[in-house]
Copies of this chain bind each other. A is one copy, B any other.
Amino acid sequence: MSRIHREDEDIPYYKVLKDKIIEDIESGKLNHGDKLPSERELAEQFGISRMTARHTLSILEREGLVERRVGAGTFITNKRIELDTITFNSFSKNMLGRGYIPSTKKLSIQRIPAKAVLAKKLRISEGEELIAIKRLRLVNDTPVAIEESCIPYKYCVGIEDLIQEDASLYQLLEEKFGIVLVRAQEYMQVTFCDESESKLLRIKTESPCILLEAVAFDKEEREIEFSRSITRSDIVRYYSELRLR
């Protein structure tokens, strides 16, 4: 009945177990379809009660990482189908013209080297310098979304001194750097926020959120911006008016 070792005594047992399972999924030790030990086994192995093990599995289930089947067990699920349906988001736009008061809070502006994944998306070399701009969007002082934009620094040298609270990034790119974004490729999905996101958005950790990832191109078909936004789904509803033909 020996307890699992907790590096940090403040981390609750259910979280330790959760992190362990997620790590095993990310490292490839656990794969789609694999069976987890039963709740009773997990409880015994980790020296916790079955209810605590269940708590962990409930969270993982809500996040879509595991699937439980009565009488059979708990299984890893890790699959995604990609749908070719059109959606749209440009949070900075005129999205709030109906009695809401939008505002923006700068969270951070940093010059960082591009990691491999990001470099590929922006078609630049790994390690090339990027400007990363992280902002919090609010409506009537309620936080609604976290937006992060990454732009190769070569396209906008000095931008970090020009960005104002509540200013449009696209407008700035156009007026100061002559860069006009004309096209974007966008992915939208539901995700669950992590702890730091939940604090900024003032929602509970693991709440479902809208994740939007986009690459924007200028008229020379250059990849200019990679953006990633996390939007609260509990108080947000999207509206659109569209032509069917």
The interface of chain A, by Cβ under 8 A from chain B, is 51, 61-62, 64, 67-68, 77, 79-91, 93-98, 100, 139-140, 142, 144, 170, 180-190, 204, 207-208, 210, 216, 233-245
Contact call A238/B188, Cβ cutoff below 8 A: yes
Query: What is the CA–CA distance of A237 and B213 in the complex, to the nearest angstrom?
Result: 11
Residue in B closest to A82 when the chains form the complex, CB atoms: B237
A83 to chain B, nearest CB (A): 5
CB neighbours of A180 from chain B (8 A): 245
Among A91, A93, A94, A237, max chain B CB count under 10 A is at A237
> Which residue in B91, B208, B216, B241 is a CB contact (below 8 Å) of A233?
B208
14 A/B residue pairs, CB under 8 Å, sorted by A:
A64-B207, A81-B235, A82-B239, A83-B95, A84-B96, A85-B91, A87-B87, A183-B243, A185-B239, A186-B241, A187-B239, A188-B237, A189-B236, A190-B208
A44 to chain B, nearest CB (A): 21
CB neighbours of A89 from chain B (8 A): 85-87
A26 to chain B, nearest CB (A): 18
Query: What is the CA–CA distance of A167 and B79 in the complex, to the nearest angstrom?
Result: 28
Question: Given A181-B244, A184-B244, A244-B182, do A238 and B204 touch, yes or no (CB 8 Å)?
Answer: no
> Which residue in B67, B77, B85 is a CB contact (below 8 Å) of A88?
B85
Among A51, A88, A180, max chain B CB count under 10 A is at A88
